[in-house]
């Protein structure tokens, strides 16, 4: 879209939004990148009072359970494994400690920039067991799958995944009623395509796939307002320059080959049947850290003061958490929503504390 066209699209979407005088509308953005883009571009400030944006559970770090961190702590300190992880997860609180605490106790926690880096780490350290923390949605899971395939091809016996991958479609069902419509995440939709949204529409769940520029976000909000007025469920794509109807079949095929659906526990939501992606068994069972190390199931105890669950379900705004910005800050996060740069509490802290 050239600059002129973008300006025109933004103007007409704004006209629709500003002219809206119907009943209150609740729109949930389920993607952390959307939450940040909405703040960064000042979109909340230009919406009329009857259009409410709610931030949902779209950041994979935010929805990762305390028990998962406890498992990683156990692997590092009791099983002497090297933990390979993206940086965000290091500061997510576990029941007793986070992975930074593991380091302080002499545990080996390495930051990697891709799952393939973790495979290389395993190759370079054949005497150590390397466990990659695979935490993500459909966008990042293919990279974990590729790493497992690479490890299998190389005959690696010292590489495994600890998985907490999730898929969004069952989460939308669990969130039914939290909002009138969803802003569907552009990145995840680029992999999944539109099929899941058509299925959700048949079940009465509405939403619009949305990009990340101001024009794209305003256009998606305007589309939601127009479609809600018709009274029937809808599934629209306001991000066609990136999201194709069929998504990315090669990415989905990779996931299908290496992973299989499993139940997953979402922080704040609880267990959602079939909403996780675990290693396919028996084909890839040897790469499952839980099986290789025989660690017990861990449920974890989040800090009782943390209201992440209510934030992620859109029941409260982060500022309504009594310790937001006081005890809990990005420098000293008490809950996972304050850790990741995509976290809802972190976004409110960064942008809304200024307002
Ligand atoms: S402000 Fe901190 S403690 Fe409160 S809900 Fe957010 S992450 Fe949890």
- 3-state SS of 316-334? CCHHHCCCECCCECCCCCC
281/189 Cα distance (integer angstroms): 27
Ligand 1 closest atom vs CA 305:
3
**What interhelical angle do 214-228 and 3-18 show, nearest 10?**
40
Beta carbon of 59 within 6 Å of any ligand 1 atom: no
pLDDT at 355: 47
User: Do both 273 and 174 map to the same domain?
Assistant: yes
Q: Do 69 and 23 belong together in one domain?
A: yes
Looking at the structure, do residues 203 and 328 belong to the same domain, yes or no?
Answer: no
Residue 289 Cα to ligand 1 middle (Å): 30
Closest ligand 1 atom to the C-alpha of 308?
Answer: 5
Query: Does residue 312 contact residue 272 with C-beta atoms inside 8 Å?
Result: no
Q: From residue 234, give the alpha-carbon distance in Å to each of 30, 70, 224.
A: 17, 41, 9
For each of the chain's 355 residues, which pLDDT tens digit applies? 556 655 655 678 999 999 999 999 999 998 888 998 998 999 988 999 999 999 888 788 888 889 999 999 999 999 999 999 999 899 999 999 999 999 999 999 999 999 999 999 999 999 999 999 999 999 999 999 999 999 999 999 999 999 999 999 888 998 888 899 999 999 999 999 999 999 999 999 999 999 999 999 999 999 999 999 898 999 999 999 999 999 999 999 999 999 999 999 988 778 899 999 999 999 999 999 999 999 988 888 888 899 988 888 888 889 999 999 999 999 899 988 888 877 889 988 988 765 4
For 260, the enclosing helix (H) or strand (E) is strand 259-266
CA of 64 to the centre of ligand 1 (A): 14
Q: Considering only CA atoms, which of 267, 275, 269, 271 is closest in space to residue 338?
A: 267
The answer to whether 10 touches 214, Cβ cutoff 8 Å, is yes
What is the pLDDT at residue 313? 82
| Cut 0.85: pTM above it | yes
124, 214: one domain: yes
Instruction: Name 237's bridge partners.
Output: 209
- 319 and 280, same domain (yes or no): no
Q: In what order do the strands lie in the sheet with 82-85?
A: 109-111, 82-85, 130-134, 159-163
Q: Say if residue 344 is in the same domain as residue 281.
A: no
Residue 18 is part of a domain; what is its CATH number? 3.40.50.11740
Q: Do 134 and 240 share a structural domain?
A: yes
Tally the residues of the chain: 355
d(CA 158, CA 119): 9
With a 6 Å cutoff on the Cβ, whether 251 touches ligand 1 is: no
Domain carrying residue 300: 1-304
State the closest ligand 1 atom to the C-alpha of 336, by its place in the atom list counted from 1.
Answer: 7
> Reduced to 3 states, what is the DSSP secondary structure of residue 111?
strand
Please state the atom number of ligand 1 nearest to the C-alpha of residue 310.
Answer: 5
DSSP 266-315: ETTTEEEEEEEEEE-TTTTGGGBHHHHHTPPP------TT--HHHHHTTS
Tokens representing residue 136 in the block: 């993500």
Please choose, from the candidates 314, 291, 72, the residue with its C-alpha nearest in 3D space to the C-alpha of residue 177: 314
Overall number of domains in the chain: 2
Q: How many Å lie between the centroid of ligand 1 and the Cα of residue 335?
A: 5
| Cβ count near 12 (within 10 Å) | 13
């Amino acid at each position: 879209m050239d600059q002129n066209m973008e300006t025109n699209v933004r103007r007409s979407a704004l006209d629709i939004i500003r002219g809206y005088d119907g009943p209150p509308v609740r729109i949930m953005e389920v993607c952390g990148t959307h939450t940040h883009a909405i703040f960064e571009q000042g979109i909340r400030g230009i919406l009329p009072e009857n259009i409410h944006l709610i931030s949902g559970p779209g950041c994979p770090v935010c929805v990762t359970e305390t028990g998962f961190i406890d498992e990683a702590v156990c692997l590092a300190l009791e099983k002497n494994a090297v933990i390979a992880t993206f940086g965000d997860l290091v500061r997510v609180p576990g029941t007793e400690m986070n992975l930074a605490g593991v380091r302080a106790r002499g545990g080996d926690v390495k930051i990697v920039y891709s799952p393939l880096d973790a495979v290389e780490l395993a190759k370079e350290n054949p005497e150590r067991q390397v466990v990659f923390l695979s935490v993500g949605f459909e966008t990042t899971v293919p990279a974990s799958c590729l790493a497992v395939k690479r490890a299998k091809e190389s005959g690696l016996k010292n590489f495994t995944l600890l998985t907490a991958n999730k898929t969004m479609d069952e989460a939308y069902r669990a969130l039914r009623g939290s909002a009138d419509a969803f802003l569907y995440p552009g990145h995840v939709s680029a992999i999944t395509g539109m099929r899941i949204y058509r299925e959700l529409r048949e079940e009465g769940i509405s939403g619009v796939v949305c990009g990340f520029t101001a024009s794209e976000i305003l256009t998606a909000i305007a589309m939601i307002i127009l479609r809600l007025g018709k009274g029937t469920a809808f599934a629209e794509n306001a991000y066609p320059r990136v999201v194709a109807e069929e998504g990315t079949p090669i990415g989905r095929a990779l996931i299908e080959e290496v992973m299989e659906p499993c139940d997953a526990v979402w922080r704040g939501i609880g267990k959602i049947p079939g909403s996780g992606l675990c290693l396919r068994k028996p084909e890839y069972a040897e790469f499952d850290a839980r099986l290789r190390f025989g660690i017990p199931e861990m449920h974890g105890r989040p800090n009782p003061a943390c209201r992440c669950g209510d934030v992620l379900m859109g029941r409260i705004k982060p500022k309504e958490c009594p310790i937001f910005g006081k005890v809990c800050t990005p420098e000293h996060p008490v809950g996972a929503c304050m850790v990741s740069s995509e976290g809802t509490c972190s976004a409110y802290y960064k942008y809304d504390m200024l307002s």
